[in-house]
Amino acid sequence: MKRRGRGIACMWYPIGFTVSANPSAATVKVNEDGTATVLTGTVETGQGSLTVLGQIAAEALGIATDDVHVVSADTDTTPMDTGAIASRTTYVTGNAIWLAAEAAKAILFEAAAPILGVKVSQLEAKDRKIQVKNFPQRNVSIGEVAHRSQAVLGQPAIGSASWNPPTVAMDPDTGQGKPFATYVYATQIAEVDVDDETGEVEVLRIAAAHDCGTAINPMLVEGQVEGGISMGVGMALQEEMLFDADGRHINPNLTNYIMPTSLDMPEITVDIVQDFDPTGPFGAKGVGEPTAVPTAAAILNAIHDAVGVRVTSLPATSEKVLAAIKASRAVEQKQIPA
């Protein structure tokens, strides 16, 4: 008989390296037509980071995502970056790109101030224009300013910057310290059906609520959460590298190492928790790794809720769940008074 259960798991996760420096550097070049090129040493590994980094540069310059081209991942041409690791790209590389864009923007403001007859501090970049704060009708297009700055004033609008998250070393005896600049938080709740005759677990749905500070691109956040949950499902129920008595891996193939497929995926709802981190670019933190953190815990708690057994070793394969159900029944039967 199929028994339904629900399980909850929450988590916290840090952004960036543990204490050690993990800087990013970046260069932002504003072209003479007001579009921009970003140089970063990070690598697009499928998560959409270059899109998010382009959005950060665009926001800082008051232009659109489509106006920005991001060049990445070449040690000869792009500035150093600690790379696509530790959920750090949006937060650390994003901060470097934001600062570099601000530096380029400062050059544009220097060129625009005499045109608009105001001080630099009275300017803002918005809607592809440089305009006077509170007087948006007094404006000049960013392309015109960029062209003038480079071709007339001889000051191309190029900015470079670097950023490293501030941390405090941990005491070797007590671990006390500030190992990370910031953390994100999340909760996932899973609903499962457990067949108490076969031990088979089906994950029906997962409600995921994730904090990432400001969501620079909510669509990519949702994609990360859904991808993380698929890894979590595999960790909870299926995936395991097995070794023989001599230490040889016995299932190094996708026939015997079982990955979740679309048929194993539950219905997922993603909520982004409202948050703003003043230390991140436009309030952003990160989201990559944390999405895979609470899934297995939520599913295992749901199994416990469904059939009353606690599986304490992952993955909770059908065999393991069934053995636990049988063991608990054996105990129950023994407890029946004669």
Catalytically active residues are 289
- Of 76 and 335, which CB lies nearer to other proteins in the complex structure? 76
What's the min distance (Å) between Cβ of 120 and other proteins?
21
Beta-strand runs (E) in 167-266: 182-195, 201-211
By beta-carbon proximity to other proteins, the closer residue of 64 and 118 is 64
Round to whole Å and give the CA distance between 252 and 243. 10
Distance CA 77, CA 39 (A): 8
Report the nearest approach of other proteins to the CB of residue 228 (Å): 7
How far apart are CB 112 and other proteins at their closest, in Å? Answer: 17
CA-based angle 186:55:63, to the nearest 5?
A: 145
Q: Which of 24, 21, 20 is nearest to 98 (CA)?
A: 24
What does DSSP say about strands 182-195 and 2-15: parallel, antiparallel, or unpaired?
antiparallel
Residue in the structure block whose two tokens are 């980094």:
53
153 vs 168 by CB, closer to other proteins: 168
Q: Which of 28, 35, 70, 80 shows the shortest CA–CA distance to 49?
A: 70
**Residues 104 and 142: beta-carbon distance below 8 Å:** no
Phi, psi dihedral angles at 278 (to 5 degrees): -65, -15
Q: How far apart are CA 95 and CA 235, in angstroms?
A: 33
